[in-house]
Amino acid sequence: MIADTRADFRSDTVTRATPAMREAMAAAEVGDDVYGEDPTVNELQDRLADMAGKEAALYFPTATQGNLAAVLSHCRRGDEYLIGRNYHILLNEASGTSALGGAAPWPIDVDENGSITPEAVRSAVKEEDQHHPVTRLLCLENTVNGSAQPVDLIDDLASTARELGLAVHLDGARLFNAAVALDVPIAALLDGVDTASICLSKGLGAPIGAVLVGDAQTIGRAFRLRKMLGGGMRQVGHTAAAALYGLDHHVDRLSTDHEHARLIAEGFRQIDGLGVTQATNMVWLTPPAEHSEALAAHLLADGILVCAWQPTMRIVTHLDVGPGHAEMLIDSVRAFFEDIGQDGRP
């Protein structure tokens, strides 16, 4: 954490392993995972395959690498995949699918909740013509910028994709947040998809890791791709133990993160002139444009870290954020705008 920081709302990736999680890591049984001999990794893979209702699972160091291996397992060079315009694989993973796999993304517009429609998927699939790439895959995401994508929508999209001959991959960057918000098991959110990456280093608080779930054949292809992409790991049961601890102790408590985000949003809504949106563990704050930079500087000087994007800031609650931190943030933003009201400038 940056020196003098009192609260860090930049992302749920900034969490640190709890003392109990560290104990579980230290006590983990380990082996060589490249040989499939790490018992803790195998336990994690089996657990998540069962929770997801899939045949097989594979542990990755990052969800970015898991997503990349998944897309390349479904697509050949020159193939096309359809994806929401603001989804992680398209915007936040360094164009790895194109640069390393030769797979071309086709962006689809999303609504205010980050959702795409079956009709948009149908219209995006290319006709059979030598001039067009072959559309092979539909990529979904859950949550999308905090918005949980409901079971019925995912099922409809997956059914549409299947009718069109497409495979379906879901980036489960915050899948457990979605499951808790919708009060469903993760299997319900993954029933219609072929593969899904499940990130473990966000809401669950593990220091590293993601698991790709799917049918045995596709996971087998991903296993070879993981090695090709530099993801073969050795005695990595120590980090898998952190993920198992997170599954056992940090899933149900995600509702607390959602509640803290709701409290922050409600506090912001009491301040005139602010645009506020909240979904699961994310709050999106749009201050008046003329005050955006000054507010960001004020929060930083106050020891509070946020993603100070313009025009809209992102605030994320997580394992290391308590109600006191939420109140601290609200008070700091309120004080900033009270000062403006008194003298007309920040």
Report the predicted TM-score, pTM, of the whole model to 2 decimal places: 0.94
Nearest to 242, CA basis, from 212, 210, 198, 207? 207
Residue 293's domain is classified under what CATH number?
3.90.1150.10
Q: Is residue 297 part of a domain?
A: yes
Q: Residue 235 to residues 130, 220, 240, 296: CA-CA distances in angstroms?
A: 48, 21, 10, 42
Strand order in the sheet with 210-214: 56-60, 210-214, 195-199, 167-172, 135-141, 80-84, 104-108
75 and 104 share a domain?
A: yes
Of the three residues 249, 274, 308, the one that is the final residue of a domain is: 249
Q: Is residue 291 part of a domain?
A: yes
167 and 288 share a domain?
A: no
**Residue 209 main-chain phi, psi, to 5 deg:** 115, 155
Residue 37's domain is classified under what CATH number?
3.40.640.10
Burial class (CB in 10 A: 0-12, 13-18, 19+), 255: middle
205 and 274 share a domain?
A: no
241 and 279 share a domain?
A: no
309 and 333 share a domain?
A: yes
Q: Is residue 7 part of a domain?
A: no
pLDDT at 127: 87
How confident is the model over 235-252, as pLDDT tens digits? 999 999 999 999 999 999
Side chain identity, residue 201: S
HSE on the CB side for 193, CA within 13 Å?
30
226 and 126 share a domain?
A: yes
Side chain identity, residue 250: H
Give the residue numbers spanning the domain of 196.
19-249
138 and 269 share a domain?
A: no
Q: Answer yes or no: are the C-beta atoms of 40 and 29 closer than 8 Å.
A: yes
196 and 126 share a domain?
A: yes
Of the three residues 217, 249, 281, the one that is the final residue of a domain is: 249
Which tokens is 282 given? 């994310």
139 and 243 share a domain?
A: yes
Q: Answer yes or no: are the C-beta atoms of 281 and 254 closer than 8 Å.
A: yes
Q: Does 3 have pLDDT greater than 80?
A: no
Which residues does 3 contact at the CB level (< 8 Å), separation at least 6? none
DSSP 307: B
Q: Structurally, how many domains does the chain consist of?
A: 2
Average pLDDT for 245-264: 98
How confident is the model over 75-115, as pLDDT tens digits? 999 999 999 999 999 999 999 999 999 999 999 999 999 99
Average pLDDT for 213-225: 97
Q: Answer yes or no: are the C-beta atoms of 68 and 229 closer than 8 Å.
A: yes
**Partners of 284 in the β-ladder:** 277, 314
- The length of the chain in residues reads 346
Return d(Cα 105, Cα 108) in angstroms, integer. 9
Of the three residues 200, 228, 249, the one that is the final residue of a domain is: 249
Cis peptide bond N-terminal to 143, omega within 30: yes
195 and 75 share a domain?
A: yes
229 and 323 share a domain?
A: no
69 and 32 share a domain?
A: yes
How confident is the model over 304-320, as pLDDT tens digits? 999 999 999 999 999 99
